[in-house]
Amino acid sequence: MSFRFHRSIPNLSIFHNARSAHSERILQLLRSSLSNPYAPPRRIAAAGAKAEISGTSTIKKLLQRPLEFNLDVSTAPPTPDQYQTMLDYLRTQQLTQSFFTGPSSLARFLVKHAQPVSSTEELSELASKNPSSVRWPVVVHWDNGLVAIEREDEVNNILEVIYEEANGGVSVQQQDWLT
């Protein structure tokens, strides 16, 4: 008899501003990872380096299928409660994961020279009234408590987490050995 645990589909949100080039590019990256075979950039680089050394390529093995996740695209700014949840996630990320950078405070959401805010309510109001004062996009992996603000490398880190979960945490070297 075999037992199989059902894995739920991850839930991601992108708080998107169509006037932001960063936001457009990252939205395209997310949509592309849903429709085209995806492998994390770091894994492709590692596979390329290994291919140079050994003469065998594992890149095709990495590019098996698109990622599977629910993507919610919101053109409205986050609510104060959503911002508070994101701040909690950022504080946890700083403690547990070295690939996410930056402060875990409200300032992390603001562009340089933006008026300072002292609460998530003020931040949400500022994002509604003056979207150019806020960094776009904000991508949230609600199930794993991960947040990426404006930076494509942080979004790729979130996608890599989804990739590894979908592949049972199997690394490139393990995939080679198994196939």
Distance CA 66, CA 90 (A): 27
Query: Do 145 and 89 touch, CB atoms closer than 8 A?
Result: yes
pLDDT at 3: 61
pLDDT at 177: 38
pLDDT at 166: 86
Domains detected in the chain: 11-178 (3.40.30)
Query: Before 103, cis peptide (omega within 30)?
Result: no
Distance CA 78, CA 62 (A): 34
What does pLDDT average to in each consecutive run of 10 residues of the chain (179 residues)? 70 97 96 90 57 52 79 98 96 67 78 92 97 97 96 95 82 42
pLDDT at 92: 87
Of 99, 125, 122, 139, the C-alpha closest to 14 is 139
pLDDT at 171: 46
pLDDT at 172: 43
